């Protein structure tokens, strides 16, 4: 499991460790790890042009000491001192090693020919402007330097966290450095796993500086493939279709028949023992034609779901419509005593009666930013910008588990750490893939997984299947359709569990 922490938690652990070590030990460890990472990012160190963007404080000190180590190996190192003061020991070490340092020009940094020339010629730029203590929008001249780094042709390495990214939340209030590599010290910061910050971090490289024993229980985690494989339900010799889990799906409408087909497909391909599908006549015909394994029943909203048959979990919502009839079906499903996953149109209709989500049985909601925004009465853009905050808020307000879809999928439940999914591909941003995801998670709920486990496993497997669908035999990625993802699910599970 990859654990992630807030900046306050990291600083508290650092203080405890520094009290037991000689002064400067932690900075030395961080600078050494940073220098090694930068050396590996360069074709060769000797003769390479390295530019340091240096702020005040310890982050700038890490950068200067690392620059000194590269200068000793023959790199040409220039430091731009963005603050009136620089770390004295680090600056002295850089100059002793042959590096050069200068302050900023009087005018705008991005209009200075000397500085823009240094950026243009640099093989590698170290972003040591702002460390984990930074919050809010970058001020000038830091914002201008972040813009300059963003247009640089060389490799950009963020020191601990990209400047402009909130280390605890991933929020970005203005300009932010876009790094190819982030070398982060002691432990991963939560904001490096969650967008929009995650999209600025590039490849993450944690450097161990000895904080482990002093860190608390993490508030954000990312499951590994081995951990997901260990959670996935598997049939035994005594299993039958009912013991493997019966999932009921209420989805689709005369307008959106495909959503029903895709949600059922996700459940079938994810390994549900049996899928019972209930809906309008046209979606039922489509599901029967594509998935003959499913047991289907045509229902009217006023009939409810009592006659569908016994299920261990429900999937409610994909393409079911948002009218009064859809609301009646939502009431019927949410009145049952089994786990319910609410997705898509199901979330839109329950936003009219949010109290329906507060139930005794487990409930998992799988919104995108717009749907969660409607539930919380906030703009979708604010949900995108503050994904951790709003996922946690919804989990607490409605007593549900939240799988917030998007560029970073996060799973939040009250009283537990937020789980971040790191599989997938941008090609999954296409119509219908969310319906497949709902079916997968519904199958796992029916098999007996807790909501957070079902959600995290479904997101992980869905991401693997999407990546497999998009990737060609010779590498590279291409557009995919939602059904491609459903069809790749067995292979994704097989690859995940083959070593376990």
Percent of the chain with pLDDT over 90: 91
Give Cα 141 to chain centroid, integer Å: 30
- Helix, strand, coil % in the chain, rounded to nearest 5: 45, 15, 40
90 annotated among ligand-binding-site residues: no
What's the half-sphere exposure (Cβ side, CA atoms, 13 Å) at 247? 34
Residues 142-177 have pLDDT tens digits of 999 999 998 899 999 999 999 999 999 999 999 999
265 annotated among ligand-binding-site residues: no
163 annotated among ligand-binding-site residues: yes
416 annotated among ligand-binding-site residues: no
Please tell me the predicted confidence (pLDDT) of residue 473.
78
415 annotated among ligand-binding-site residues: no
Please tell me the predicted confidence (pLDDT) of residue 237.
78
Q: Which structure tokens are listed for 40?
A: 């590996």
58 annotated among ligand-binding-site residues: yes
Q: Which domains does the chain have, with CATH numbers?
A: 2-219 (3.40.50.10260), 225-497 (3.40.1190.20)
CA distance readout (Å), 305 to 78, 297, 347, 348: 70, 10, 18, 20
Question: What does 156-219 look like in DSSP terms, one character per residue?
Answer: EEEESS-TTB-TTT--B-S-----SEEEEESSEEGGGTSTTTHHHH-EEEEE--S-GGG----S
60 annotated among ligand-binding-site residues: yes
434 annotated among ligand-binding-site residues: yes
Please tell me the predicted confidence (pLDDT) of residue 135.
81
150 annotated among ligand-binding-site residues: no
The β-bridge partners of 316 are 250, 342
Residues 30-84 have pLDDT tens digits of 999 999 999 999 999 999 999 999 999 899 999 999 999 999 999 999 999 999 9
Residue stretches of the chain with pLDDT short of 70 = 499-500
Q: Are strands 2-5 and 220-222 parallel, antiparallel or unpaired?
A: antiparallel
Q: pTM here?
A: 0.94
Please tell me the predicted confidence (pLDDT) of residue 243.
86
498 annotated among ligand-binding-site residues: no
78 annotated among ligand-binding-site residues: no
- Residue 217, classified by CB atoms within 10 Å of its CB into exposed (0-12), middle (13-18) or buried (19+), is exposed
74 annotated among ligand-binding-site residues: no
Please tell me the predicted confidence (pLDDT) of residue 500.
54
Please tell me the predicted confidence (pLDDT) of residue 499.
64
Question: What does 91-119 look like in DSSP terms, one character per residue?
Answer: HHHHHHTT-EEEE--SS-GGG-HHHHHHH
219 annotated among ligand-binding-site residues: no
């Amino acid at each position: 499991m990859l654990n992630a922490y807030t900046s306050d938690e990291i600083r508290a652990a650092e203080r405890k460790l520094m009290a037991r070590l000689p002064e400067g030990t932690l900075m030395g460890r961080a600078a050494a790890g940073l220098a090694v990472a930068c050396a590996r990012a360069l074709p060769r160190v000797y003769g390479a042009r390295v530019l340091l963007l240096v702020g005040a404080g310890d982050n700038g000190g890490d950068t200067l000491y690392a620059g000194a180590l590269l200068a000793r190996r023959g790199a040409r190192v220039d430091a731009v001192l963005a603050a009136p003061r620089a770390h004295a020991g680090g600056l002295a070490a850089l100059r002793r090693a042959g590096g050069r340092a200068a302050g900023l020009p009087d005018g705008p940094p991005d209009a200075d020919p000397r500085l823009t020339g240094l950026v243009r010629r640099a093989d590698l730029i170290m972003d040591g402007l702002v460390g984990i203590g930074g919050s809010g929008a970058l001020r000038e001249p830091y914002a201008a330097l972040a813009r300059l780094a963003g247009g640089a042709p060389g490799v950009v390495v963020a020191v601990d966290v990209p400047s402009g990214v909130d280390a605890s939340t991933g929020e970005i209030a203005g300009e932010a450095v876009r790094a190819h590599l982030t070398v982060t010290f002691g432990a991963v910061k939560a904001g490096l796993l969650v967008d929009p910050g995650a999209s600025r971090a590039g490849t993450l490289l944690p450097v161990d500086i000895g904080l482990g024993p002093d860190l608390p229980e993490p508030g954000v985690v990312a499951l590994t493939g081995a951990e997901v494989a260990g959670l996935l339900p598997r049939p035994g010799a005594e299993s039958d279709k009912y013991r493997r889990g019966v999932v009921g799906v209420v989805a689709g409408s005369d307008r959106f028949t495909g959503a029903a087909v895709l949600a059922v497909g996700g459940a079938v391909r994810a390994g549900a023992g049996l899928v019972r599908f209930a809906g309008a006549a046209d979606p039922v015909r489509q599901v029967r034609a594509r998935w003959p394994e499913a047991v289907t029943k045509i229902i009217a909203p006023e009939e409810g779901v009592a006659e569908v048959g016994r299920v261990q979990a429900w999937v409610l919502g994909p393409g079911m419509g948002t009218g009064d009839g859809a609301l009646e079906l939502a009431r019927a499903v949410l009145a049952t005593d089994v786990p319910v996953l609410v997705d898509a149109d199901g979330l839109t209709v329950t936003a009219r009666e949010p109290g329906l989500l507060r139930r005794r049985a487990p409930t998992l909601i799988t919104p995108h930013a717009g749907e969660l925004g409607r539930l919380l009465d906030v703009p979708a853009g604010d949900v995108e910008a503050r994904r951790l905050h709003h996922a946690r808020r919804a989990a607490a307000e409605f007593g549900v588990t939240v799988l917030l879809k998007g560029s970073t999928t996060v799973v939040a439940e009250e009283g537990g750490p937020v789980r971040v999914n790191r599989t997938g591909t941008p090609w999954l941003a296409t119509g219908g893939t969310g319906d497949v995801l709902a079916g997968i998670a519904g199958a796992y709920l029916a098999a007996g997984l807790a909501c957070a486990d079902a959600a995290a496993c479904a997101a992980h497997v869905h991401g693997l299947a999407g990546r497999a669908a998009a990737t060609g035999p010779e590498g590279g990625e291409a557009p995919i359709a939602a059904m491609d993802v459903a069809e790749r699910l067995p292979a994704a599970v097989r690859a995940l569990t083959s070593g376990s």
